[in-house]
């Protein structure tokens, strides 16, 4: 299968726990390459726009409040089957249901504060990457 890109966020809870490097290590160990990365403190407008698909859900306001509660790391991961691979590394949305050894099993406290985000499909990955990065900011890793 061809190389694929996915979008990832290390959420404010995990940044506060100082486990950015540990999480990056999981991505790299699984064969995913970081091709763009930055730390940002989201504005309310940015967080609401990013999670617009969840606007009608009961957890929307809590989700936005959490996502702006501190800085996050946003990154683009590249590799074979990157979207699905990243979802496997992350584990289930609710850490109580996440498989042992996944990021959410190891670093998430609850379904509301669950350490990481990852795109759920190729189309959402493309939209989410473009939300945070220009094409010029995505670095080829061909060396
Ligand atoms: P994410 O988008 O953050 O990668 O997570 P996901 O695909 O596994 O879950 P999604 O359904 O897209 O939900 C987005 C985020 O909203 C929060 N959530 N809370 N209290 C709840 O029932 C509930 N459901 C979802 C989670 O923080 C989830 O990651
Ligand atoms: Mg989602």
Range of the domain at 130: 3-137
pLDDT at 1: 67
Would 85 be classed as within a structural domain?
yes
Residues found in the chain: 143
Name the residue of 57, 93, 107 whose CB sits within 8 Å of the most ligand 1 atoms, as the mutation to test its pocket: 93
Handedness of CA 99, 105, 111, 116 (dihedral sign): negative
- Distance from residue 24's CA to the centre of ligand 2 (Å): 20
Would 142 be classed as within a structural domain?
no
User: What's the predicted TM-score (pTM) here?
Assistant: 0.97
Which one, of 56, 73, 75, 91, lies nearest residue 125 by Cα?
Answer: 75
Would 143 be classed as within a structural domain?
no
Q: How many domains does the chain have?
A: 1
> CA neighbours within 13 Å on the CB side: how many for 40?
16
59 is in an annotated binding site: yes
CATH code for the domain in which residue 76 is found? 3.30.70.141
pLDDT at 141: 79
- Closest C-alpha to ligand 1, atom 28: 93
**What is the enclosing helix (H) or strand (E) of 47?**
helix 44-50
**Would you give per-residue pLDDT tens digits along the chain (143 residues)?**
689 999 999 999 999 999 999 999 999 999 999 999 999 999 999 999 999 999 999 999 999 999 999 999 999 999 999 999 999 999 999 999 999 999 999 999 999 999 999 999 999 999 999 999 999 999 987 77
Neighbours of 17 (CB within 10 A): 14
Q: Which residues approach ligand 1 with their CB closer than 6 A?
A: 54, 59, 63, 93, 111-112, 114, 117-118, 120
Asked whether the ipTM of the predicted complex exceeds the cut of 0.85, the reply is yes
């Amino acid at each position: 299968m061809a190389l694929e890109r996915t979008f990832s966020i290390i959420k404010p809870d995990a940044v506060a726990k100082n486990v950015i490097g540990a999480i990056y290590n999981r991505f790299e160990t699984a064969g995913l390459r970081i091709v763009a990365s930055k730390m940002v403190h989201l504005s309310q407008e940015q967080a609401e726009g990013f999670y617009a698909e969840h606007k009608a859900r009961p957890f929307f306001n809590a989700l936005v409040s959490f996502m702006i509660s501190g800085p996050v790391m946003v990154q683009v991961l590249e590799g074979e089957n990157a979207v699905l691979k990243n979802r496997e590394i992350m584990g289930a949305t609710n850490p109580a249901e996440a498989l042992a050894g996944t990021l959410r099993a190891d670093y998430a406290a609850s379904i509301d504060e669950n350490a990481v985000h990852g795109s759920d499909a190729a189309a959402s990955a493309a939209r989410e990457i473009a939300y945070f990065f220009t094409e010029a900011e995505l670095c080829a890793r061909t060396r």
